[in-house]
Amino acid sequence: MTALPKITQAAQGGQARSPGQEKLPPFAPGRKWRDVQRALLAMGGAVVDEGPTGIKAPDGGWGWAVLLGCFVITGFSYAFPKAVSVFFKELIREFGIGYSDTAWISSILLAMLYGTGPLCSVCVNRFGCRPVMLAGGLLASLGMVSASFCGSIIQLYLTTGVITGLGLALNFQPSLIMLNRYFNKRRPMANGLAAAGSPVFLCALSPLGQLLQDHYGWRGGFLILGGLLLNCCVCAALMRPLEAPKPGSRPGPQRPSRRLLDLSVFRDRGFVIYAVAASIMVLGLFVPPVFVVSYAKDLGVPDTQAAFLLTILGFIDIFARPTAGFITGLKKVRPYSVYLFSFAMFFNGFTDLTGSTASDYGGLVVFCIFFGISYGMVGALQFEVLMAIVGTHKFSSAIGLVLLLEAVAVLIGPPSGGKLLDATHVYQYVFLLAGAEVVTSSFVLVLGNFFCIGRRPKAAAEEEEHHKPPPDADVRVDSREVEHFLKAEPEKNGEVVHTPETSV
């Protein structure tokens, strides 16, 4: 629509009038409501926290500090549920419980990280990224500190699982949103570097947890880890909102507020296809790292060598994620990021299928190398592709809804693999099931993107063409007119507009 840039400029500051154009008073005779509504659509219904209209992503500057904060937050969020597992034997001994009981701590942590996505979206859209992350850092620390005084496993579920998990979730999602706002051209590389925080922190937190347990016991270890989680608040302080330079002396009007959780993303076929594919992928994505050590022990490999397989996987993952982000950022590659993500998913699933044929330690080492490469590619691309599909305005709501759908798959995937193992006592079947699920997700994404998005129905194209305004239509609208329209007739657009008292 060729007239939209004109609307946007006029709506922002009222400065985009052509030479000699007469300045019309608000709602002058002959002015149509339809023109005002077009202006509002052109201004974009960004989230409350979006910042000034028309701000350009700096792709550097303070963005590197934001990237550092996102690196740390991603590391804590993904590595912490795995790192606390080093305390499980001590908890089993003290509380007289089984391994399955302690494993629920990590499961609840992951469920809170994924399942509270919509809640995080609402909080970010209402209060902004920095306040939500500060509150999340305090909650994460409070949960671990409180856990050090617990006297039962149920209390640990509540403190370490629910409170710390909610705190990490309130940090993880806003950090990705801020990264999306600070980077545009370099966004794939930034996503890859931020995603590398997961394997780096996993390699660091697991030995640290073992060291803390040996010297201070599990209670002292939880207390110190709670203090470390206060660094999330430091990362939150780095999330400085973007500010646009003031054009002249007349500040432009604020963007119109939108609903706190934008469910309109489900009207986007690209988002629906991505959400379905990602949910299927998560069913099998996390299964091999859970069972590969036990698989090696079942083949007669010593415990130390079996545990070293995860170290190999994590080391490869550290380099795979930034590399995948850099490659995706290339000009000739970035337009095809969805297909590259589909290839990464297929590569990961195919690695699972071939890994099921491993019969000795050397075969499992080769499997972990290729799994680390494909797993790193998936980790670096998954949120970059989502950003590319829904855009900046709807990303805060889209990621919350996707994480909620993935939470269900996270709770189904590994337990289903465990039930299959209990029924058959054959690890190869577990890897075959995981590989089949991930390969299926890759086909869902690539075929859905090709047939449903790449080739849009003729009727949809004709409808879009029908709704285009005439090229010579004068749809420039004064900024005061838009502001008056928002205040006087908020229901004309079909939704209630938040007032300054209810929106930040």
Residue 201 has pLDDT above 80, yes or no: yes
Task: Give the span between the Cα atoms of 103 and 107, in whole angstroms.
Answer: 6
For 303-359, write each residue's pLDDT tens digit.
Answer: 778 878 888 888 898 899 999 988 988 888 888 889 999 999 999 999 999 988 888
Q: Of residues 500 and 414, which shows the higher confidence score?
A: 414
DSSP assignment string, 264-333:
GGGG-HHHHHHHHHHHHHHHHHTHHHHHHHHHHHHTT--HHHHHHHHHHHHHHHHHHHHHHHHHHTSTTT
- pLDDT, residue 244, reads 63
Task: Decide: 255 and 50 in contact? Cβ < 8 Å.
Answer: yes
Residue 207 makes CB contacts below 8 A (sequence gap 6+) with none
Percent helix, strand and coil across the chain, each rounded to 5?
75, 0, 25
Q: Of residues 474 and 377, which shows the higher confidence score?
A: 377
For 13-35, write each residue's pLDDT tens digit.
Answer: 333 343 344 444 443 444 443 44
For 111-143, write each residue's pLDDT tens digit.
Answer: 888 888 888 888 888 888 899 999 999 999 999
Task: Give the span between the Cα atoms of 230 and 251, in whole angstroms.
Answer: 38
Amino acid at 220: G
- pLDDT, residue 494, reads 39
For 368-385, write each residue's pLDDT tens digit.
Answer: 999 999 999 998 898 888
- pLDDT, residue 125, reads 83
Q: How far are the Cα atoms of 279, 354, 370 from residue 359, in angstroms, in the given order?
A: 31, 11, 16
Q: How far are the Cα atoms of 81, 82, 111, 158 from residue 105, in angstroms, in the given order?
A: 8, 10, 10, 9
For 411-452, write each residue's pLDDT tens digit.
Answer: 787 778 878 887 888 888 989 999 999 999 999 999 988 887
For 136-192, write each residue's pLDDT tens digit.
Answer: 999 999 999 999 999 898 999 999 999 999 999 999 989 988 988 898 888 888 888
- pLDDT, residue 277, reads 93
> pLDDT class for 248, splitting at 50, 70, 90?
low
Residue 472 has pLDDT above 80, yes or no: no
- pLDDT, residue 378, reads 92
- pLDDT, residue 490, reads 44
Q: Of residues 497 and 87, which shows the higher confidence score?
A: 87
The stretch 251-258 carries a mean pLDDT of 50
From 344, 71, 78, select the one nearest 193 (Cα to Cα).
71
Neighbour tally for 241: CB within 10 Å: 14
Residue 242 has pLDDT above 50, yes or no: yes
From 122, 221, 250, 228, select the one nearest 177 (Cα to Cα).
122
- DSSP class of residue 259 equals -
Task: Give the span between the Cα atoms of 396 and 264, in whole angstroms.
Answer: 12
The stretch 283-293 carries a mean pLDDT of 83
364: buried, middle or exposed (CB in 10 Å: 19+, 13-18, 0-12)?
buried
Neighbour tally for 459: CB within 10 Å: 8
- pLDDT, residue 45, reads 28
Task: Give the span between the Cα atoms of 35 and 25, in whole angstroms.
Answer: 15
Residue 496 makes CB contacts below 8 A (sequence gap 6+) with 490
Residue 82 has pLDDT above 60, yes or no: yes
Task: Give the span between the Cα atoms of 171 and 291, in whole angstroms.
Answer: 29
* Percentage of the residues of the chain whose pLDDT score is greater than 70: 75
> pLDDT class for 464, splitting at 50, 70, 90?
very low
Residue 502 has pLDDT above 90, yes or no: no
From 384, 378, 237, select the one nearest 320 (Cα to Cα).
378
Residue 501 has pLDDT above 50, yes or no: no
Task: Give the span between the Cα atoms of 401 and 327, in whole angstroms.
Answer: 28
Task: Give the span between the Cα atoms of 312 and 178, in whole angstroms.
Answer: 32
Quick one: CA dihedral 401, 371, 318, 360, positive or negative? positive
The stretch 472-494 carries a mean pLDDT of 44
Quick one: CA dihedral 403, 408, 409, 414, positive or negative? positive
Give the three-state DSSP class for 98. Answer: coil
- pLDDT, residue 453, reads 65
- pLDDT, residue 499, reads 34
Task: Decide: 346 and 355 in contact? Cβ < 8 Å.
Answer: no
Tally of residues, the chain = 504
Residue 5 has pLDDT above 70, yes or no: no
